[in-house]
Amino acid sequence: MKIGKIKKDLGIDHVKTRFELRNKWFSSVKNLQNNTLVFINKIDKTNLKKINRHRNLILLLNKKSRKINDSIIQIETKNPKLIFFRIIEKFSKN
């Protein structure tokens, strides 16, 4: 998956990335993989540890956190889950 299409759709095409998304370009917090799109509704200590063990994520969340490492693009949105599934629906058709 070309990351440029998703970045444009999210309105973050100005953000520089040095990675492409994997063939399986989305993952869940329970089964995180590098170079994927993921959402999280609430950041707790367990989820924070999981997230920071990975690199090159596009993370949809309610509120950005300084505790998340710099290789992860954080996108603040009111409803991360809804945006996540809209993106999957839109780009899985292509």
Contact residues for 44 (Cβ-Cβ < 8 A; gap 6+): none
* pLDDT mean across residues, the chain: 85
Q: Does the CA dihedral 31-35-38-42 come out positive or negative?
A: positive
Residue 54 is part of which domain span? 3-92
Indicate whether 79 pLDDT > 80. yes
Residue 37 sits in a domain whose CATH number is 3.40.1390
pLDDT above 70: residue 1 = no
User: How large is the average pLDDT for residues 65-91?
Assistant: 90
* Reported confidence tier of residue 2, pLDDT bands at 50, 70, 90: low
Dist. CA 92–CA 94, nearest whole Å: 5
Q: How confident is the model at residue 89 (pLDDT cuts 50, 70, 90)?
A: confident
- Number of domains present in the structure of the chain: 1
The pLDDT of residue 61 is above 90 = yes
Given this model, what pLDDT does residue 40 score? 95
Query: H-type helices in the chain, by residue range?
Result: 3-10, 45-52, 80-92
pLDDT, one tens digit per residue, over 10-42 is: 777 666 666 667 677 889 999 999 989 999 998
Q: How many other β-carbons are positioned within 10 Å of the β-carbon of residue 35? A: 20
